[in-house]
Amino acid sequence: MRKWISFPHKEGQISRQAHADLPEQAIYEREAGRSGFFGPAAHFHHQHPPTGWSEWQGPLRPRAIDLNLQNERSDLPWLTPAFLHNHHCQMRLWQLDQHMTELMRNADGDELLFIHEGRAELYCDYGHLTLETGDYLVIPRSTMWRLEVIEPLKILMVEATNDSFQLPDKGIVGPHAIFDPAMLDVPKIDDEFLAQQGETPWGVNIKRLGQMSKVSYPFNPLDAIGWHGDLAPVRINWRDIRPLMSHRYHLPPSAHTTFVASRFVVCTFVPRPIESDPGALKVPFYHNNDDFDEVLFYHAGDFFSRDNIEAGMVTFHPCGFTHGPHPKAFEAGLAHKKKFTDEVAVMVDTRDPLELSEQASALENLDYANSWQVKA
């Protein structure tokens, strides 16, 4: 058994409440925390912005990758290199312009698909489901599936390697907060699914230990006429997520957790009112997330804590340095210029260090680390 060393202590000029009513002499708060936002934490009050560096050297630098410049297209999603990966998680942006002519089956872990652009019909072991822009789709490990494209697709794919996606424990707010599980849609054995069955030969591409195998059938193996149980792909759209809010306190990103795996979490930032209490922070607080790497995929809207970030881009903040809002966003927050956020973004926080692929490095904005500098 282990227990965190805990000795709540106060030193110098402080706020009584984290993220609110900061001392006038030090408007910059920095949180150093463990276990994401669930462990012990210390809150520092600084006279200068904790991100006010003048130069960056070395590989730890924050990174911004423009995946809009990625050109790879393939019927087989795993031919698209993962832009970030570790032993427990792989992230890739898969682009698909035409119907898949073979089935997929990931024997390495669950897949989470986020439909960044496009529409498609999903056919899988469990039936048929129409996918729209903004949908999340959880595909259980070893499920056979394929897509028929209605509109060209860009899909953020997150693999829980040797693992599964589950729902977070919502604690005192109850199981129906953020989204009611009744909002989850599952595939149907409907007329469209039955119509695609037949004796036409089909191939199934199976990924296991990162290697590909192919099984050929003289018929369509998606030939179920029914199923029952409590395991199935599930879909929910970001528009069905009702975020936790507090008008007096800026909630940490963990309050927006959508799915959890054993070694990482997936959070969704959706439009919400900005805190209205005069003493409450109006932008994300500066923080050291010293146990997790942080990845943000920007889907839509105006990303209020960042400059020069567009939909389809990714930011990567490895653990080990302080990060937070850009200077203009911080000043706008002090002035309470915005009353509502309109951003939509997917965040993946991983307990284990992520590696950036060579292909993604070629799409990097090398000046991103300087974007925290105050411009004269």
Q: Which residues are catalytic?
A: 250
Any residues with CB less than 8 A from the CB of 84 and at least 6 apart, and which? Answer: 90, 91, 295, 314, 316, 354, 355, 356, 357, 360
Give the integer Cα–Cα distance in Å for 145 and 235: 14
Is 66 one of the annotated binding-site residues? Answer: no
Three-state SS at 237? strand
Give the integer Cα–Cα distance in Å for 112 and 157: 6
Please state, as a whole number, how many other Cβ atoms lie within 10 Å of the Cβ of residue 324: 22
Structure tokens at 17: 């409440």
Phi, psi of 155 (to 5 degrees): -125, 125
134 touches 241 (CB < 8 A): no
Which ranges of the chain would DSSP assign to H, the alpha helix?
191-195, 327-335, 358-361
Strand partners, 283: none
Q: What is the DSSP string of 238-302?
A: GGG-B----TTS---GGGGEEEE-SSEEEEEE--EEPP-STTB-SSPPEEEETT-EEEEEEEES-
Give the integer Cα–Cα distance in Å for 157 and 207: 14
Is 299 one of the annotated binding-site residues? Answer: no
Nearest to 202 by CA among 103, 76, 98: 103
The total number of residues shown for the chain amounts to 376
Is 323 one of the annotated binding-site residues? Answer: yes
187 touches 137 (CB < 8 A): no
Phi, psi of 370 (to 5 degrees): -90, 0
Q: Residue positions in the annotated binding site?
A: 287, 293, 323
Q: Residue positions in the annotated binding site for homogentisate?
A: 323
Q: Residue positions in the annotated binding site for Fe cation?
A: 287, 293, 323
